[in-house]
């Protein structure tokens, strides 16, 4: 079949880009401006997923009614600005009723499957509304249920997509349709083999966009958000952060993995596999430009960016004297594996191990990653000391282990801080260290000043 849009683009709009009618209209203008945009992937309107997550936690009726009312208001503020609200309002009402029923079920017989079903409604609604906004602007567009192609496992709340099934299903059901209309679909949601709705983890819409881009061999994936690209550090920490115009996949994925908030950490993997450039820009200010993430960049700089990941816990494990070191290391890693703890930062000395645990996604306070089960299991092999509330600061760059003076560059500016742990050498592109959380912003500013200003 000859393709009318061989250079087709997937455009993803995040929660703030579909927060209300005006935001949706700006995002619609972006779609209109580029005829190659044939597939639109949406987040739920800003705030909606949080409300749905709260509803899925089994709230009592009075609180439920409050949240449901807030949800209805967010969506109706959009519907009421449409020229013909009646085209869509019955369908949205149905979905809002579903939410009410699912919230009731979540209270009486909670399950992770019910939570995912409930939470998926944010994207279902925003995509219906956005398809209507596009139609009112004369764009030939059509709503598409992402679950009919996004096959996942049944790990509710953080499901893993089946990339091969997705490629097959997308070729079959989605490819023919993007030739005919702009398809509007949902990020974040999928379906397991039992037919239940799943979700890919918070912030997962970026991931959906690049997975669909990979499945359909898109020429580019555009991620429209509320910042005009990727910066040398979080601009909220220091206004002197500079936008990076071009960055490599590996640099950007290190940044995402080590806490830079612009992209969901898994997003770049599908794009990397198929070498699809990813553009990141602001839907509020398209003239401001953005960042293009590609396979390679010309003259990669020694220092690219500074990322911060908060809510880190440092574990110091001191082996019992009776245990030989090699056995001790093996035991500790076996326990960590049993407890599915991913450790990305570790140092060892004679008879002790220090490792950082990431509690970013834990809901129960700072040391959420150190569960009591893990603590008990570790304690039978070693003395366990835990320090919570730390921040992991990562310098992302190129050839860091082969350049002289890197440590001087980094630590000369941090002389007044007590650095808890340093990791350098395992990766040629990152140098990480832990500091107390309350001094992290100051340290990032100082480091950024020294390396980028
Ligand atoms: N709506 C989901 C969330 O807030 C997914 C996303 O926006 O990417 O996490
Ligand atoms: Mg996001």
pLDDT in tens, 63-118: 899 999 999 999 999 999 999 999 999 999 999 999 999 999 999 999 999 999 99
The ligand with the least distance to the CA atom of 18 is 1
User: Is residue 31 within 8 Å of 182, Cβ to Cβ?
Assistant: yes
Round to whole Å and give the CA distance between 235 and 291.
Answer: 15
Residue 322, pLDDT score: 74
The ligand with the least distance to the CA atom of 202 is 1
What pLDDT band is residue 368 in, cutting at 50, 70 and 90?
A: low
Backbone angles phi, psi at 416, to 5 degrees: -90, 0
Among 231, 229, 227, 225, which residue's Cα sits nearest to residue 290?
229
The ligand with the least distance to the CA atom of 52 is 1
Whether 270 lines ligand 1, by a CB cut-off of 6 Å, is no
Whether 203 lines ligand 1, by a CB cut-off of 6 Å, is yes
pLDDT in tens, 395-414: 999 999 999 999 999 999 88
CA distances to 170, 260, 273, 394 from 295, in Å:
25, 19, 10, 21
Residue 361, pLDDT score: 67
Whether 397 lines ligand 1, by a CB cut-off of 6 Å, is no
Whether 44 lines ligand 1, by a CB cut-off of 6 Å, is yes
- pLDDT higher than 80, residue 142: yes
Residue 367, pLDDT score: 56
Using the mean position of ligand 1's atoms as its centre, give its distance from the Cα of residue 352 in Å: 40
Whether 414 lines ligand 1, by a CB cut-off of 6 Å, is no
In a mutational test of the pocket of ligand 1, which residue from 12, 13, 15 has the highest number of ligand atoms less than 8 Å from its CB? 15
What pLDDT band is residue 386 in, cutting at 50, 70 and 90?
A: very high
What percent of the chain is modeled with pLDDT above 90?
Answer: 85
Instruction: Please tell me which residue, 189 or 60, carries the higher pLDDT value.
Output: 189
Instruction: Please tell me which residue, 326 or 42, carries the higher pLDDT value.
Output: 42
In a mutational test of the pocket of ligand 1, which residue from 16, 41, 49 has the highest number of ligand atoms less than 8 Å from its CB? 49
Ion ligand 2 residues within 5 Å by Cβ: 14, 203
pLDDT in tens, 323-362: 788 889 899 999 999 998 878 799 998 889 999 998 876 6
Using the mean position of ligand 1's atoms as its centre, give its distance from the Cα of residue 38 in Å: 21
Using the mean position of ligand 2's atoms as its centre, give its distance from the Cα of residue 404 in Å: 37
Region 212-231: mean pLDDT is: 97
- pLDDT higher than 90, residue 129: yes
Round to whole Å and give the CA distance between 275 and 255.
Answer: 18
Query: Which protein residue's CA is at the shortest distance from atom 6 of ligand 1?
Result: 203
Whether 49 lines ligand 1, by a CB cut-off of 6 Å, is yes
Using the mean position of ligand 2's atoms as its centre, give its distance from the Cα of residue 413 in Å: 32
Region 149-171: mean pLDDT is: 98
Among 383, 380, 321, which residue's Cα sits nearest to residue 353?
383
Neighbours of 349 (CB within 10 A): 9
Region 429-443: mean pLDDT is: 96
Round to whole Å and give the CA distance between 212 and 39.
Answer: 9
Whether 204 lines ligand 1, by a CB cut-off of 6 Å, is yes
Give the ligand 1 atom nearest the CA of 200.
Answer: 5
Give the ligand 1 atom nearest the CA of 44.
Answer: 1
Residue 119, pLDDT score: 98
């Amino acid at each position: 079949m000859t393709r009318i849009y061989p250079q087709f683009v997937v455009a993803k709009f995040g929660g703030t880009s579909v927060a209300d009618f005006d935001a949706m209209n700006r995002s619609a203008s972006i779609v209109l401006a580029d005829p190659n945009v044939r597939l639109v992937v949406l987040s739920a309107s800003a705030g909606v997923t949080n409300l749905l997550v709260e509803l899925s936690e089994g709230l009592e009726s009075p609180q439920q009614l409050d949240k449901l009312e807030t949800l209805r208001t967010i969506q109706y503020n959009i519907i009421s600005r449409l020229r013909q609200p009646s085209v869509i309002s019955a369908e949205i009402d149905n979905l809002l009723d579903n939410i009410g029923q699912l919230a009731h079920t979540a209270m009486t017989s909670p399950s992770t499957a019910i939570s995912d079903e409930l939470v998926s409604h944010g994207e279902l609604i925003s995509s219906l509304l956005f398809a209507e906004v596009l139609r009112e602007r004369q764009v030939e567009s059509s709503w598409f249920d992402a679950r009919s192609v996004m096959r996942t496992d049944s790990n509710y709340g953080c499901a893993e997509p089946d990339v091969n099934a997705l490629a097959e299903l997308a070729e079959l059901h989605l490819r023919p349709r993007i030739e005919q209309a702009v398809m509007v679909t949902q990020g974040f949601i999928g379906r397991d083999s039992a037919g239940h709705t799943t979700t890919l983890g918070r912030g997962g819409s970026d991931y959906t966009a690049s997975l669909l881009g990979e499945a359909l061999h898109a020429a580019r994936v555009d991620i429209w958000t509320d910042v005009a690209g990727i910066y040398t550090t979080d601009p909220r920490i220091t206004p002197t952060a500079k936008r990076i115009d071009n960055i490599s996949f590996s640099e950007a994925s290190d940044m995402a993995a080590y806490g830079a908030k612009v992209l969901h950490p898994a997003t770049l993997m599908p794009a990397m596999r198929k070498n699809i450039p990813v553009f990141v820009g602001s839907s509020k200010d398209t003239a401001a430009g953005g960042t293009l993430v590609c396979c390679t960049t010309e003259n990669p700089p020694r220092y690219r960016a500074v990322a911060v990941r908060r809510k880190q816990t440092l574990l110091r494990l001191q082996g019992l004297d009776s245990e030989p070191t090699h056995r001790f290391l093996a035991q500790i890693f076996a326990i960590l594996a049993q407890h599915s703890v991913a450790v990305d930062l570790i140092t060892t000395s004679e008879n002790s191990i220090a490792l950082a645990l990431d509690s970013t996604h834990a809901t129960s306070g700072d040391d959420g990653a150190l569960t009591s089960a893990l603590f008990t299991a570790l304690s039978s092999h070693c003395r366990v000391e835990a320090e919570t509330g730390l921040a992991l600061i990562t310098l992302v760059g190129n050839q860091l282990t082969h350049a002289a003076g890197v440590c001087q560059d980094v630590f000369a500016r941090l002389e007044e801080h007590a650095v808890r742990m340093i990791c350098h050498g395992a990766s040629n592109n990152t140098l990480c260290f832990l500091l107390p959380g309350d001094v992290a912003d100051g340290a990032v500013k100082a480091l950024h000043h020294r390396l980028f200003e």
